Every structure is written in structure tokens, then in C-alpha cells.
Structure 1
């Protein structure tokens, strides 16, 4: 009896602590605690959505509506040009370089040199945004692509999520019938034969929202779409085949030469025209799924008390694996440090906080979501957790800029898409890219040259020196790793040498 009484006392104290946390947050916001829906789209290009590109071939009415009811960031970035590192940055608020999680898990492709060491799991010691919210009484839900650890001890259930639907080690829907049921996914029961994965993930998310409408929740929907394999519902594919023909987009030149990684084994080409019917069907299917979740927020009566965030993990796939989309005028795509590989769709709707239809040109990055969520929830910041992110709340409330003026990237790998190992720094309108094979640099003024076609490094030598010095200090601060020589091979360039 004494043991039971003590257990009941401990449980009561825990519940009171959670209630106190939520009461504190609610009083700070002068309302009930905010809910959060975070939507991550895989491989979606910045120019793939209508709110960023009115001339896009694809149809994204629900994402466009989300932009009209919230804030659209025109200079939003992923922390890395491929998926797993960016996912790590969202979950932790840290640059993935800090734990050597600098490529997709587990991509270890060699080129002229050996790539940097790769950690292919998100350490369990990290306090994820889900764990931080759960500590304060939030119910947490994950659906879709995880790709942050090779075995189940590193999957969502052990990283702060109460419920996991479809999150495991694979980076795409590669089991069963892939994007259609049966899925062959150990974390997702099969639906009726032919059920479409994006719709299923949205349905699971909608069920969670409705079931938890009376308590604060964090729902994280990470679509497998629009990642390969390229496949979509047949009626939608037919719709876009007809649309391409109607618009005169069939038979036009679709590809142009892209920068080559030497030695050249196969000439690299980049898509310059959006007319891929299957990819368009995938984009629209994903957008419809977004619409289902937004509709559920309204139906459950929580839309006015729910922050919705939407972004992508890297740029559109334009130079490999079918090259289904064009990112023009942005250069490059997934796997590249050019803007096409890292500039992202970046939307935040905070009812009562953001001005509907507003835009912000301040450079922001995926590490910023973690502290922003804590700040909007009225919960205390944990800088030791979200070390590299800053809260975007000032921007969301209309203040002109953040105190931070510099963003960094570090990709010491040979990408599957042809990208060159390198680092980058953006400071104001200027962006410097440093190539790790030989130390060459490129400098661009993004305000004047968003397509990164005019290299100003030879004309801006002092700016190059200053930005390289700052970038190298960041390498040291984050314990960045670099390329190494193959056995008996030449030595690659190293910073400071």
C-alpha cells in the first residue's frame, strides 16, 4: 500500500508538472496552447509550386492557399542539398555537420577522392523537437519518411513520437507496390489494393488531429512524395499528358548541358522545361493530401489554434534519376550547392500572428523551425538543444530582420545527382561556394544573379577572402570533416592548407 501511494503521488506530480507547463504557455499566449502541423515534402523544388512560380506546369492549389493565409519566405533554405541531413536539422535545430550527418543515410559514394566520414544515424542523445514538446504535454505523431537511422531503435517511436505511421530506415517507398498498397512497410499496415500512399499518410494525420482536438498536439507529416520512383495515379498522369500537349510543351528541348564532375563518365544534363506528366501527377497528389490535412483542421475546429509549417528537404531533382523537374531560373538541383539544390518552399501560417498573404525576404534555414516552434508555443528556449537555429517569430510578426546575417552549408560528398563536394556561405546578398577537390571558389550576388551564372570571385578578392575566413571558422566550430585520398592517390585540398 505504501508503495502504491508513493507511485500515485509521483504520477500526480508528473501530471501537475505537465499541466503547469501548458498553463504557462497558454497564459503567455493569452489563449489555449497552440497545436503544430509540420509538413515536409521530399525533393520538392522551389519552382514546383504556384505560390513561388505562377508559371509552373504543376497544380498546387492547397499549398498556394496555405501561402495566402500565412507567410511565404522567398529565401528559405534546407541545411543540406540532400535529405537525411536536412531532416536532422529540423529535428534538432543544429547543423548536421556537428555530428557528421552530412549525406543521405547511408550514401558513401567515392569520386576522385574518398568522401568525408558519414554518421548514418541521428544520435539518441539528441533532444528532438518532438521530445521537447512531449515534455510539456503535447501528443506527438509522425507519418511518412524518416530516414534518420538504420535500425528501429533510431526510428520515430524512440525519438519522441507517440505514434509512427510508415517511418523507418528507407529513403523511399521501395517495398511492395511502392506508392500503392500493399506497401511492404513494417510501420504501415496495408490498405485496400491500389490505395495511394500520399492520401493514406494524410488520412492517418487527419485521424490523429481529430482524435487529439481537445489537447495540444504536434503532427509531423513527412511525405515520401515527390521522391523517386516516378509513378502517379493513371488519371492524373493522363491529365498532364493532355495539358503538356495543349500548352505546346511536347517536342520542345527539355535538357541542357550542366557542369561536369571530372573525370566525366557520363555527360551530365539538366532539365530546363517543366512538362513531365508523371511528376506533375505526383505533385498534385501530394498537394491534394496537404489539402486533406488542412480541411481536417477546419472540421475538427482547431484551424484557428494550429500553426502550419511546410517546407522541403532539398531542391528539385533536375540532373539525375529521370530528371523530372526544372528549377530554372535557379541553377542545379538536388545534390548541388547551387540555389536549385538548397532553396526551398518555406511557408508558415500562424493564425492571429502572421499577416495573411505576407512575404519575407530574410534568409532563413531549416534549423530555425525548432526554436520557432518553442517560441510560438510560449515554451522556454533551449539553446543547447537547437544550437544553430533562431526563432523566426520576429519575422512572423512583421519585424524587418533577424540579428543573424550568415548561413552555412557543408557537403563533403559526391552526390548521386552529380553535385561537387563543397561548402558554402551566404552573407547578405552574397554567396560563396568552395569546392573541396581543389579549393576553387565561386562568388555570386544573388540579388542581381539568382541563377548564379556570373562568377565575381576574381573581381571581389577582398570579399572572397573575408567570406572564406568566416566559412573556415565555422568549419572549425562544427568540427567539419573533408575529403581524403584514395590509397596511393593524390591528396585533396584541405582548408587552411
Structure 2
């Protein structure tokens, strides 16, 4: 039944591991975590299920309900029709590892010192070199086991937990999901992308021309022609089916739509015949097809929840880890892309469906950030908050009840590193604050500042710092106080740099 339903939704045969038992430790921990003993079939669960559906590199307007007419996302749009759609949601970083670490911990990447995308085991990425005024600040390569992840917090309260898909918050296997509160880990490792979206999911990569090639497989098994997005979906549906009588937390973290751009040919062909949206920069058929496959994944998950009569007891969070990749899409109507801190690099889609509360389309213009998801999930599940852990996040629950968030001074970002040339207009070291409708960017290289009024200039086309010197001074003081409180790391002066070397 499960496999035939999935194949109908996704349009191709899929091999799952449902015929293989999960590791014994996962089964034992799941048995011990039932609410006060056995939860019988058909009995109402005491706590809601939670699904975090995370897409890699999905831009703000890459979804129909956020403005795209070229990319087709009917299932995600239907989720928005019964959920709250946030129009000013931010990723904690413009790169994947920092944002993912902040989602899992509720802490700002700068506080964690996980400020850059983490390289593979044994290698350390250094973007800032002889030709830059500063040297890249050192950054943490493994999400510390001492952090109480959202999975660990839920597991302590009776949830069975699964991480399916991309992990990328470590470089060492000792920090994989199974050591961070997840009973099940499928496809999660220290790699930032898959080698291929088609079985055998083989990858080949090297740090630079003088480094050796390394090969890996995202998943150890599969069928010829199998597509990774579909396979991860099938595994997720299998997990839901297996745990229909338990409270579960599913972290479905798709590798899509990150490069390599590999799409199912029959889906891509449809977009090759469709008129692109040149105004919004949505023009790439293969990328559009990858988005459609992600949307089909949402459809399959929701379809299984409905079949099992679990929709009324399942919270669904849909979002992205950063803005869209500038070589594949445009983050219209914003300036910037993944790799820099203009709005296009950090403003992301966020939809939260909360059964019994979001029974109609709802929109929030309240600024939010990735760190808010941790306390929001706990709060919606009726669980006690852990303020000493999710210190940089606020629960968004009051918004759903028509209220306002508790007082939050501002949103902060800190990036003491360099982004390489693969990303258009890659960031240089900076700190940034959003205070009300004002956004200030401070260069850590020379102290120069950019100030934008997002209310009147959401495209960040006019730097008004020189016209608002008093405000600039106040915002810089707020930034400095926040950096001191958060214990951020700073880049060092590069002694080998000279202006002529740039």
C-alpha cells in the first residue's frame, strides 16, 4: 500500500528501506518514549506531530504563493492556504551550515561560531587569502554535542525522531544526526550536496586543484533511475507510516534544489515548453523541474497524513536555509542571492500550518528568523521552553493568536568570513542589524556602512547612511553591544595583504 501510493504521487518506482528494521537502539528508544506506556491505534495522540520540511537554496519567490508564475508548486500553495505565510522571514545566514545549526539549536550562528559552510573531513576552507585585507575567522566544524537540539528536546518529551536528507552541520561522523537526538538518520552526513540526484547517488569532489579527489554515495542503495528527492520522500512517508501511533518529529531536509542541477527529464521537458518569467528571473527549466519534484514531495507527505487521519494532529513547517543560488534563479523582488546578506540572500519563504489554528490563509509581516523555530515548535506542542538553549529565538505562537511577539530589540547577523567566487557578489566580512524597518550593514574590513529603509526601498537601491548619521551611530552601538554579549569571533588583519594584490 505505502509503496504504491508513493509511486502514484511521484510518478516513478521507489525503493525504500521499509522492509528492513531500523537499528535496534532506535526501536528500543522509541518503545521507551511512548506517552505513559502504550498509545493504541486510533487513540488521539497527546502531543502533535511535527514535520520540518526544509528545502536547500530555495529562493523567496521560487514558490507560487510567494509570487512565481513559472515554477509550479500547487501542494506548497495549498499548505499556505491552510497555514500562516510569513513575508518577512529570514534565514540565520546566507549559507547552509550556519542556518541549519541555528535551526537545530535556537542559537545565532555567531554565538555558535559556526559561521561558514563546513568543509569535508580533514579540510578547512579558507576563502580569505593573500588578496584580502582580513584573514577568515576560525569557525567551528562540528555542532557541539553539548547543545540540546530540537530533536533532543522533543525526544525527552516522548517523541520518536528522524532526520531524513541533508545534515551538513559537522565534518566528523561522530556528530551525525544519530548522536544529536535523532532515532533515525537516512542520507545525512558531512556533505553539503549530493554527488548525483540519480541512483547510485555517487559524488566526486576535491577541495582544490592540488588536493586529492574524494568519492562518496549519499545513500548506499537504490534502483536504477531512482531520483533522490523521490527516494527521501518515500523514506519520510515510510517513517510516518511506521510511527502513526506515536508522536513523531520528522526533519525532512531535502538536498534539492542545491546544485548539481539534475532534474527528471519528463518534468524538465514541460518547462522547456513553458514561457519563462524573464521579469522575475525564473527562466531555467531544469531548476523549475527540481522545484516541482520538491513540491510533489510535499504532496506525498500531506497525502499520507490524510490517509492516516493525522493532518489534524500534525504541525508542518516549510522553509529554506538561505536565498536562491544566483546562477540558477532570481530572488525577485529583492537584491542579492545566496552568498551575500542583501535581502535576496537571507529572506526566505516560511509557512507554518498549525491544525485548529490556521484553518484559513493567514499572512504575517512580523520579522522572524530561523532561531525562532525551536521555541515556536516547543510552544505549539505545549512543551516548556528552554530559554537557556534557544537563547536567540522567540516563540512565534502569539502571532497565531492575533498578538504581538515579546519585545525584541532587533535581528542580528555576523559573518567574519569570505564567500568564494562561485556565488555572485559573495559576501566579505560584515556585521548586520535589522531594527524596525532599518537595515544596517557594517563592513569589518574598513568600517564602512550601508543603511537601507526597507519600508520604502526593499530592493536596497539607495544607501542613506550619510543622511542618518545619528541613527547609524545608534545602530552601530547596538551591534557592538550584541557582538560583545554573544561572544562572536572576529577576523584578523592579514599581514600579507596589500592594496595592489587585489
TM-score tier after normalising by the smaller chain length: 0.7 to 0.9
Change (3 A) 1:476 1:144: same
- Listed as ranges, the matches of 1:32-431 within 5 Å are 32-53=46-67, 55-106=68-119, 107-111=125-129, 112=132, 113-174=134-195, 178-184=196-202, 188-244=219-275, 273-318=281-326, 323-416=327-420, 417=423, 418-431=426-439
**How far does residue 152 in structure 1 lie from its aligned partner after superposition?**
1.2
1:453 matches 2:461: yes
**How far does residue 466 in structure 1 lie from its aligned partner after superposition?**
0.6
Q: TM-score, normalised by structure 1?
A: 0.85
1:260 is matched with none
Q: Which runs of 4+ in 1 moved over 3 A?
A: 14-23, 184-187, 487-491
SS at match of 1:438: coil
Q: Is the 8 A contact 2:35 2:46 kept in 1?
A: no
From 4, 19, 22, give the equivalent of 2:35: 19
1:305, 1:468 → 2: CA distance? Answer: 45
1:17, 1:315 → 2: CA distance? Answer: 37
1:258 is matched with none
The root-mean-square deviation of aligned C-alpha atoms, in Å, is 2.2
SS at match of 2:318: strand
Q: Is the 8 A contact 1:164 1:187 kept in 2?
A: no
From 487, 491, 499, give the equivalent of 1:483: 491
2:339, 2:85 → 1: CA distance? Answer: 24
Change (3 A) 1:311 1:21: farther
Change (3 A) 1:432 1:21: farther
SS at match of 1:368: helix
Q: Is the 8 A contact 2:60 2:332 kept in 1?
A: no
**How far does residue 22 in structure 1 lie from its aligned partner after superposition?**
11
SS at match of 2:273: helix
2:358, 2:75 → 1: CA distance? Answer: 18
Q: Is the 8 A contact 2:165 2:188 kept in 1?
A: yes
SS at match of 2:467: coil
Number of residue-to-residue matches in the alignment:
442
Q: Tell which deviates more after alignment, 103-112 or 180-189.
A: 180-189
Q: Is the 8 A contact 2:413 2:433 kept in 1?
A: yes
Change (3 A) 1:402 1:62: farther
Q: Which runs of 5+ in 1 are unaligned?
A: 1-13, 24-29, 255-271, 492-497
Q: Is the 8 A contact 1:165 1:187 kept in 2?
A: no
SS at match of 1:423: strand
Q: Is the 8 A contact 1:108 1:118 kept in 2?
A: no
Q: Is the 8 A contact 2:396 2:405 kept in 1?
A: no
**How far does residue 99 in structure 1 lie from its aligned partner after superposition?**
2.3
Residue-by-residue CA offset, 1:405-431 (whole Å, 9 max, x unaligned): 410011111113222221110011111
**How far does residue 124 in structure 1 lie from its aligned partner after superposition?**
0.7
SS at match of 1:203: helix
- Listed as ranges, the matches of 1:464-483 within 5 Å are 464-483=472-491
1:296, 1:48 → 2: CA distance? Answer: 25
Residue-by-residue CA offset, 1:261-289 (whole Å, 9 max, x unaligned): xxxxxxxxxxx621011111111111111
2:222, 2:462 → 1: CA distance? Answer: 51
Q: Is the 8 A contact 2:90 2:370 kept in 1?
A: yes
Q: Which runs of 5+ in 2 are unaligned?
A: 1-29, 120-124, 203-215
Q: Is the 8 A contact 2:165 2:232 kept in 1?
A: yes
2:359, 2:96 → 1: CA distance? Answer: 30
